[in-house]
Structure 1
């Protein structure tokens, strides 16, 4: 370890933060056979060696800690985990290549609706989107034949996504593996239509709409319990579903992160048993405590992961556009079944999305949105800390938070909140056999900071009044 760190070079002219350069180099040099349980250099010593601040080193170590690559021992320091299933050489391809997660039942309008799945328009970003659409109109008018995508989607947009996903999520794919869809649910429907009828394992609690969707394609759904580290591996191995649907970067709805140790075990199980994993990366842009974690797909070496993403969390839910990254062996299956079908998203909208990327507006929008929602997340944490009657599951990420409000009647609580024009959402519909009926989902992205403050203070006030009559 000493020799490795001494030869590390940090590019101070790069736009990449120094801490992230350091994190990348340590991760790239990791050898599970050599480095397991080995102590990393102390923060002070490494900072002195590289000529950087201790904060830079701490940020790099915290990112490694968040991913589960290292563990800390109080008073001793940071140590590498021993990860025997760490991916090695990429396996050859098997063949030659040629919605929102939670949609509450519609109810009467509510002034302070803590509903998940809605994001407000950000004016600079929206203006840039309108400009991208106007440019797309001009481009389509001048050369209509050049902007008529095939069923799989615009090649230019898919090529842009290849670079984007590699840079931001570590996803390794080619354009022919990507399918442009009109949302996450449509992407799941496409995938389920490609697979032979079998068993689909779904996280519990989790996405409530998948059971009906899978049944429609002759699949049978089984529930997989969620632990503090993500989907329960013992249940996966025992039930052995043909497909496992999971949200490893930020489990929906509880928000827990699947550490790299468990990710590798899940990947190893899927590879050895020839099973498929659906990785739904539904809100990876919104991680506030550390840099976004690499995708599960980035660790896969046997084509055992389908990656599911969408743009609705990034721009606006009304933009029904997502994408599916198929493993190589499913590409010819998709092409045989969908080759002559119409594209799911109009060519004009796909071209506008490409323009939005090319202008840099998409990246600027993500940065703006992350800053705004981090303020909202911090506000939720601060306001809920004003009472002991609400127990938040704070994970440092996402556009929602699950809270537990024990010892209060759900019926009385919801009724009292309704009188205050506040609405929160019980988790029964997302959690089969929920252990207690006191878990609620609070979506905070749709409200302004001022409205969110009012909603949270009314929630706290109602809980205090009911809890201390």
Structure 2
């Protein structure tokens, strides 16, 4: 089944070409198989015949197919098994195919709705930043910790919205949450290299510390966040937590547990890494003050990102180091230049200072609250008690436990067969065997509200619920 994405930047003929390459290289199309006639495929995809013909000509030029008079286009014999002399850049099976065709509906939990992005105002802020740069008497290397204007605006915003108390000198601008973790891992390179994190939890964070050869320790998550019983048994240098909206369960750590956690960190000389994931996107209650705002012992490394509130492609995040770690940061990074473009930093500073960021957050809450409510209603209406839901009331994803005879992989495969894409949550567990058998994570921002009912109705059939 071949899908094309008309909103994609890739030309339609390239999408058709890539789809057939994938089918041929994976063996789904075998040598001698006949491709659909160009006219028939053009009608099925509602594209011009020239578009299909251009894709076929490219496939033929590269030796994937050949034209035979009276038979149309046939698949050539292609070796599917790479030999020992395969180039070093060849992809392994674990890395997946070179190109994955777009699905009709993609529940990727890292995507955001592009239609909500404030393109007009952002363009004005970029122009203002260009003007600021133009007025500078010289073009120099940027400030190593990030543009002072941006650090000041973020510090003010965090004080207003999250209760975070910090000086701009404690802040470092990074090019994403993983870059932030990379910096923290480097600073703690000469410690016992013990790292604990919630289980389940974000695999992208775990990968950073695993690559730095830290000893990884999973800590179970309860209905109200990380288990303090398990925490009190830890012997670690760093503990990573998402207290405001645990990823992926959506649990919120109550104030009592937060105070316990901070006391434990002080008593054990442990640093807490607070990832304030989805903190602004609470739909029915006010945002809960950050863990850092309660910390009187200077044990919390506060981190945040603009990936979910603005755009993942912006690659802008930040760390607020406790004052006790500033000397260690400066000792390691004193000769490292900033990794984020000054243009983006100055534009973001302008965007925040003008009040546009907070107005955008308010709009996001409204849009995503309506989407989440519509999804929850459709789940209840179509699946009833066949599905249990975690994470409602905040964030841009839901965690589902499907009461089904099928495993997670089977549920994903059956959904993919009708053009609906989900992703395995096994990777969120240090030990994949701890992952519930029929658990799915639904990121909903890019799915149209009006499509939820029809999507879930289709899923109910293929999942045989």
Distance 1:104 1:316, change over 3 A: farther
Structure 1 residue 435: Cα displacement = 5.2
Q: Are the aligned partners of 2:244 and 2:276 in contact in 1 as well (CA < 8 Å)?
A: yes
The alignment partner of 2:122 has SS state of: helix
User: CA offset at residue 305 of structure 1?
Assistant: 0.5
2:449 match: 449
Aligned partner (choices 226, 248, 252) of residue 253 of structure 1:
248
With over 3 angstroms needed to count, the CA separation of the structure-2 counterparts of 1:227 and 1:367, relative to structure 1, is: same
Among 246, 249, 257, the residue aligned to 1:262: 257
- Distance of 1:453 and 1:143 partners within structure 2: 55
Which position in structure 2 is the counterpart of 1:152?
145
1:402 to 380, 396, 399: 399
Q: Which residue of 2 aligns with 1:415?
A: 413
CA displacement at 1:123 relative to structure 2: 5.7
Assess if the C-alpha contact under 8 Å between 1:256 and 1:395 holds in 2. no
What does residue range 419-438 of structure 1 map to in structure 2 within 5 Å?
A: 419-431=417-429, 432=431, 433-434=433-434, 436-438=436-438
* Contact kept? 2:372, 2:392, Cα under 8 Å: no
Higher gyration radius (CA): 2
SS in 2 for 1:158: helix
Q: 2:173 aligns with which of 177, 180, 204?
A: 180
Shift of 1:415: 2.9
Map 1:287-366; keep pairs closer than 5 Å.
287-366=282-361
CA distance in structure 2 between the aligned counterparts of 1:321 and 1:138, rounded to whole angstroms: 21
SS at match of 1:396: coil
261 and 104 in structure 1: CA distance in 2 versus 1, 3 angstrom threshold: farther
Q: How does 1:26-65 map to 2 (within 5 A)?
A: none
Q: 1:420 to 1:148 in 2, by over 3 A?
A: same
1:7-156 equivalent positions in 2, closer than 5 A: 107-122=100-115, 125-143=118-136, 145=138, 148-156=141-149
Residues 392-439 of structure 1: CA deviation (Å, up to 9, x unaligned): 114311100000002331344223312321122231111233253111
* CA RMSD of superposed structures (Å): 2.0
Kept in 1, the 8 Å contact 2:411–2:438? The answer is no
Give how far 1:232 is off.
1.3
The CA distance in 2 between the partners of 1:288 and 1:401, in whole Å, is 14
- Pairing partner for 2:389 from 389, 392, 399: 392
Contact 2:147-2:342 at 8 Å conserved across structures: yes
Instruction: Tell me how far apart the structure 2 counterparts of residues 167 and 147 of structure 1 sit (CA, whole Å).
Output: 32
Does the 8 A contact of 1:110 with 1:421 survive in 2?
yes
Inter-partner Cα distance in structure 2 for 1:104 and 1:335: 40
Question: Could you tell me whether the CA contact under 8 Å between 1:178 and 1:324 is conserved in 2?
Answer: yes
Q: Is the 8 A contact 1:288 1:397 kept in 2?
A: yes
Unmatched segments (≥5 aa) in structure 2: 1-94
**Structure 2 match to 1:72:** none
Comparing 390-399 with 147-156, greater Cα deviation is found at: 147-156
Aligned residue in 1 for 2:439:
439
Question: Of the candidates 193, 199, 204, which is equivalent to residue 199 of structure 2?
Answer: 204
Shift in CA distance, 366/148, structure 1 to aligned 2, threshold 3 Å: farther
Distance 1:426 1:166, change over 3 A: same
Deviation of 1:460 after TM superposition, in Å, equals 3.7
Cα distance in 1 for residues equivalent to 2:221 and 2:356: 37
- Post-superposition offset of 1:177: 0.6
Q: 1:145 to 1:291 in 2, by over 3 A?
A: farther
Work out the number of aligned pairs and report it.
Answer: 363
| Farther off after superposition, 112-121 or 454-463 | 454-463
For residues 108-141 of structure 1, the C-alpha deviation after alignment (integer angstroms, 9 at most, x for no partner) is: 3211011101112236711111111111112212
Rounded Cα–Cα distance in structure 1 between residues aligned with 2:134 and 2:128: 10
Per-residue deviation, 1:323? 0.3
Note if contact 1:147-1:347 (Cα within 8 Å) is conserved in structure 2. no
Deviations 1:349-377 (A, max 9, x none): 11111111122211111111111000111
SS at match of 1:253: coil
Contact 1:247 1:280 in 2 (8 A): yes
